[in-house]
Structure 1
């Protein structure tokens, strides 16, 4: 025999309701954790596919001796303005960088050209224009 006194009926129901409430909270937290894990895996998988597609090696041409000769070469990188916020001057370059690659020394140098550099543009009516207008 135990010395415990039975609980009144109302107190017993209150304990059961509180117990059910914690089950719901733990269940929702568990489902949220599973959902976050699935979303994280999906985001990682999509990013991995995009990166592998972006940096896929291109087939080399045997006739292209510029890259295989080992001589330094330069590439002009341009970033253009999209004309957002209602502007109508679409297509001006905001970023100009000359990348010089030296395969023998395994170095790369980046030289930024300021967009406000004044230049003479052939065929233009103005004497000096900003280089990003070219």
Structure 2
């Protein structure tokens, strides 16, 4: 009788735990769904013209993202302070990340003239940014993720901070950064990722630091410890991130592509700075050679399992 009583007590305890886990799981799922709905910003197009067929998540087709770090201002759309292309190949479990310097001179698709690539966002939002990057790299951009840069510090804090390997001693925004392993909270991470003028590599060094912070957020966001902070993370994401990903697509990507995060290769676009007159003033641009552009384009096409090499554009 005593054994039976303890057995009933144990079953009752496990039932309460199971019920609690079920309620928690439903709450998380519902919160995720609501956040995804608030972030969802559909584009006018459904698929890229450079994508011969629609991405099949179940078949684990490689896919690409354009990450836009936008410096938004009241009453002004702002410019994309950062443009990063991320390609994901779940078959070889790898990702490749390419920072596009914001001063890169290229054709702004939809405007018909050459300008700094980050101006595409000011002219036509994410649609024009995507079209311009697709034309520049000759690859499809399947999805975009737009992040308000001012909220970046909150995202870093929500995942418990990030760890980076710093190779340059510098100070910025009141913070001192030494060489070696650094644990950064949100304020420090934002300052770390924004410094440019004191870096001998200029914008290239800044882009490297931005990629490190993004990788740190991805790694921390995927950890078990971040689950307990999901309310904070979701609130920040819902208020400061826009994407054309739907909730169902997010779920499919998480299920089929998550192992790709374990290997990340980072690439830097190189070019030559040049002052070019627009008729009234000289403006600084980064000129990327056709050889450099084609080399990177073909590398990304290979990672996306897209056939055909890029060819030189008419100058």
* Global fold match (TM > 0.5): no
Bigger-Rg structure (1/2): 1
Higher relative contact order (CA 8 A, sep 6+): 2
State TM-score, norm by structure 2. Answer: 0.20
The structure in which a higher percent of residues are helix is: 2
